[in-house]
Structure 1
Amino acid sequence: MKNSPYSALFRLPVIVSALGFFVDVYDLLIFSIVRVPSLQSLGYSEAEVSQIGTFIFNSQQAGLLVGGILWGIVGDKKGRLSVLFGSIIMYSTANIACGFVEDPNMYALLRFVAGMGLSGEIGAAMTLVTEIVPKEIRSLGPTLVAGVGYLGAGVAYLTQEWFDWRTAYFVGGGMGLMLLFLRIKVFESGLFLQVKEQGISRGNFLYFFSTWSRFIKYLRCVMIGVPTWFVVGILGTFGNEFGKVLGIEEGISPGKCVMFIYFGLTAGDFFSGPLSQWLRSRRKAIGYLMFCGAILAGVYLYGNVSTSVGLYIVCFLSGLCTGYIGLYLMMVAELYGTNLRATATTSVPSVVRGMAIPMTLAFQGFKPSFGTIGGAALLGVICYGIALLSLTKTDETFGKELDFVEK
């Protein structure tokens, strides 16, 4: 095993990246899970919870968008480890502060700061793991990180079930600060150190927009990830609204919807890596899963689901077919050279997360004309259609050598 490429999967950077993503997912989703009980405890009505909750959620997503760009640049200029340390300190302290909040505006500000910090974790972790795992088994590294990481959603939900919403924030922030001690022994990417010694320009975010072809390439990377936040940000976060329209008598918990979606994401990410290895293709593996995800979104909305158990099962299956995130981010990392790899891999998922803002606004805007189900269906057709088209136009990266730079 010592000389086997598979031994790379058990190196400290991979393990710590997986644990870091676990905390990242917990802290990222904790607001979606405690959105209703936290705002109700502050004295808001059901209508106000929906309106104020959307504002706070979008504030978090805006922080993800801003932070993704900033942390990506830092990752290519200063190193992958600098992001892993700085981002976890930012989002952990912000989440602890959320446990003391009493005002919705302060709540929104703290979620914005938390979002900025959270945006650095996944991109830096995926970049580091992609660069240190041998190309023969590269598909398995990031998918292992994502598979373990998504379990954080289940822990977030259970924490909220066992304790009040303030304690749930304290737990998330505390786990992040404890993880800092494990990161002290993590080593930097060798590919980054080589480029750093050569004095090559690094972290130029404007590069992605310097020509039309580069802009389209970057935009396609973003669009491929959009269905993930349609599933989580619309079908999961507003699960209680869909439950009422579908006539499900038992109350639907948005937190439980999100939890089952992320359990599905965990299974899907563990499955997508080996699937890509077997197909010897990133695009085919992602495409098959995305197509199945689109079908399940239709089942969620029009499948005559009449019980809470049935809806939670569809949530799990939708998550499973959306469980290509690790594979997708690895593909983004493989598309770009070492001097821009962290900038791309960190900013792309953050822009995807930021796309939840126009998606939620579009969903709210569609509802008066098309209804809750029809509005979500129209939005889903747009998201999956653009994503599948973008995937077909993106280069295959399976087995690609990563020792190159963008000129």
Structure 2
Amino acid sequence: MAQPSATRDSQRAITLSVMVAALGYFVDIYDLLLFSIVRVPSLRSLGIEGDELLRAGERLLNMQMTGMLLGGLLWGVLGDRKGRLSVLFGSIFMYSAANIANAWVQSVEAYAWLRFIAGIGLAGELGAGITLVSEIMPKETRGYGTTIVAATGILGAVFAALVGDMFDWRVSYIVGGVMGFALLALRIGVYESGMFEAVKQIGSSRGNVLQLFNRWDRARKYFAVILIGVPIWYVIGILITFSPELGKALGMTEVPAAGRAVMFAYLGLAGGDFASGFFSQFIGSRRRVVLLFQLLTTVFVATYFFLAPFTLTGFYALCVALGFSVGYWAVFVTVASEQFGTNIRATATTTVPNVVRGSVVLLTSSVAWLRPQVGVVRSAIIVGMVALAISYVALWGLEETFGKDLDYVEE
């Protein structure tokens, strides 16, 4: 009679871990995308107007994403050395505190540094959650768990858009911080990964970043996973975040609101995450699903530029389609967790999505560098073509990881 009870306890522990990871990512995405939603009204309230809105917005976005690059490394190493749960607690505390403080800024300089600190905190949530869920679920079904985490979390952007529309931008930041602190109470009942505990007991080297690069096969896999994800943040960081400027340049008579564009894109992205994750489980392949969604992304990016100008309704419908097409994010983060051994899995799974998010710095800088020479629209087209082309090549060199046994270490 003890065995069924133990099984039920194990199932409850898995369910709680998936739920907490999903809600944590929900709050993470809320805070991550809130700046894109309140960028214009928040900067205007600080006295920024005209062309300076775009330049100040690019600077703050780059500060946030730079923080995420550094935070990805910090939390990834801590996740492998101290445990997955330590990151889930520490990261959410940092970005929740930073977002509450963000509600009281009176200058762009203070705004920028708080986005940097928040970026560091935001970097830990997804990687630690996906690593934990990947390690506690059976290998045949772990894709369902990671899909639920990614797709549920994405809806945080939709909630951010609704809150941003209903309340002042300062209140919106406070809401995010309060949600984060409330979530800490739920985490008390979550257990550490058994795989991590086993590796900790045998004394293997853990969280050594150099292990990602000291062998060509590991370095190649690491960079390939990053590159297949860059088009996702090209769409979100360029086409959606700067949709008011691009919409105007494309000749739209009624310019889209960034907050609405983000909301519709993330509705599509949540649907795409569920579709890609469950389809991957159905056909037993990660690579084929990523390829399918890369093709969809290419089609809808081309539509964005070459079938404009749109009506406002048509543009928001395209935002949903673009979001759906980059909804292979769920499969992408699962692939990242499946590529490496337990002793560097959190390092890889946490740094990979944050390097992809941080690629927005390179993407926006490239667009800004090209803009005086070829204009807003053509600069965005060129950067998008390069990002997509590289992602196809990167996918070609990745191994299939569906059903892979993750209980091993990297020597």
TM bucket normalised to smaller: over 0.9
In structure 2, distance between residues paired with 1:312 and 1:10: 37
Within 5 A, what are the aligned runs for 1:3-18?
11-18=15-22
In structure 1, distance between residues paired with 2:50 and 2:13: 47
Match of 2:369 in 1: 365
Match of 2:218 in 1: 214
Match of 1:111 in 2: 115
Residue 251 in 1 paired to residue 255 in 2?
A: yes
**Which residue of 356, 359, 369 maps to 1:355?**
359
In structure 2, distance between residues paired with 1:10 and 1:264: 27
In structure 2, distance between residues paired with 1:230 and 1:46: 24
In structure 2, distance between residues paired with 1:119 and 1:376: 26
Counterpart AA for 1:96: I
In structure 2, distance between residues paired with 1:175 and 1:158: 15
Q: Deviations over 1:78-133 (max 9, x none)?
A: 00000000000000000000000011111110000000000000000000011111
Within 5 A, what are the aligned runs for 1:142-291?
142-291=146-295
Deviates further, 211-220 or 362-371: 211-220
**Which residue of 70, 73, 76 maps to 2:80?**
76
1:211 CA drift (Å): 3.3
In structure 2, distance between residues paired with 1:298 and 1:43: 36
TM-score scaled to structure 1, two decimals? Answer: 0.97
**Which residue of 366, 380, 383 maps to 2:384?**
380
Match of 1:339 in 2: 343
Counterpart AA for 2:159: V
Unaligned runs of 5+ in 1: none
1:221 CA drift (Å): 1.3
**Which residue of 25, 28, 34 maps to 2:29?**
25
1:282 CA drift (Å): 0.3
Match of 1:307 in 2: 311
Q: Deviations over 1:55-94 (max 9, x none)?
A: 0110000000000001000000000000000000000000
Deviates further, 245-254 or 257-266: 245-254
Counterpart AA for 1:116: I
Contact 2:165 2:259 in 1 (8 A): no
In structure 2, distance between residues paired with 1:209 and 1:277: 30
Q: Once superposed, which parts of structure 1, at least 4 consecutive aligned residues long, lie more than 3 Å away? A: 1-4, 6-10
Unaligned runs of 5+ in 2: none
In structure 2, distance between residues paired with 1:136 and 1:396: 14
In structure 2, distance between residues paired with 1:58 and 1:256: 22
Identity, % of aligned positions: 48
In structure 1, distance between residues paired with 2:194 and 2:32: 30
Match of 1:36 in 2: 40
Equivalent residue of 1:57, what SS? Answer: helix
Counterpart AA for 2:376: T
Identify if the C-alpha distance between structure 1 residues 184 and 111 changes in structure 2 by more than 3 Å, giving closer, same or farther: same
Deviates further, 226-235 or 243-252: 243-252
In structure 1, distance between residues paired with 2:99 and 2:217: 39
Contact 2:95 2:120 in 1 (8 A): yes
RMSD: 1.6
Equivalent residue of 2:207, what SS? Answer: coil
Counterpart AA for 1:110: L
1:10 CA drift (Å): 6.3
Match of 2:138 in 1: 134
1:136 CA drift (Å): 1.7
In structure 2, distance between residues paired with 1:254 and 1:184: 37
Match of 1:51 in 2: 55
In structure 2, distance between residues paired with 1:50 and 1:307: 23
In structure 1, distance between residues paired with 2:331 and 2:174: 31
In structure 1, distance between residues paired with 2:11 and 2:229: 30
Equivalent residue of 1:398, what SS? Answer: coil
In structure 1, distance between residues paired with 2:265 and 2:387: 18
Equivalent residue of 2:140, what SS? Answer: helix
Contact 1:28 1:118 in 2 (8 A): yes
Q: Deviations over 1:329-354 (max 9, x none)?
A: 11111110000000000011111111
In structure 2, distance between residues paired with 1:38 and 1:387: 34
1:208 CA drift (Å): 1.5
1:370 CA drift (Å): 2.2
Contact 1:201 1:339 in 2 (8 A): yes
In structure 2, distance between residues paired with 1:223 and 1:251: 32
In structure 2, distance between residues paired with 1:233 and 1:299: 17
In structure 2, distance between residues paired with 1:357 and 1:9: 39
In structure 2, distance between residues paired with 1:218 and 1:274: 24
In structure 1, distance between residues paired with 2:12 and 2:22: 13
TM-score scaled to structure 2, two decimals? Answer: 0.96
In structure 2, distance between residues paired with 1:41 and 1:332: 40
In structure 1, distance between residues paired with 2:399 and 2:309: 38
1:8 CA drift (Å): 7.2
Identify if the C-alpha distance between structure 1 residues 231 and 9 changes in structure 2 by more than 3 Å, giving closer, same or farther: farther
Match of 1:318 in 2: 322
**Which residue of 75, 88, 105 maps to 1:101?**
105
Contact 2:143 2:334 in 1 (8 A): yes
In structure 1, distance between residues paired with 2:175 and 2:265: 22
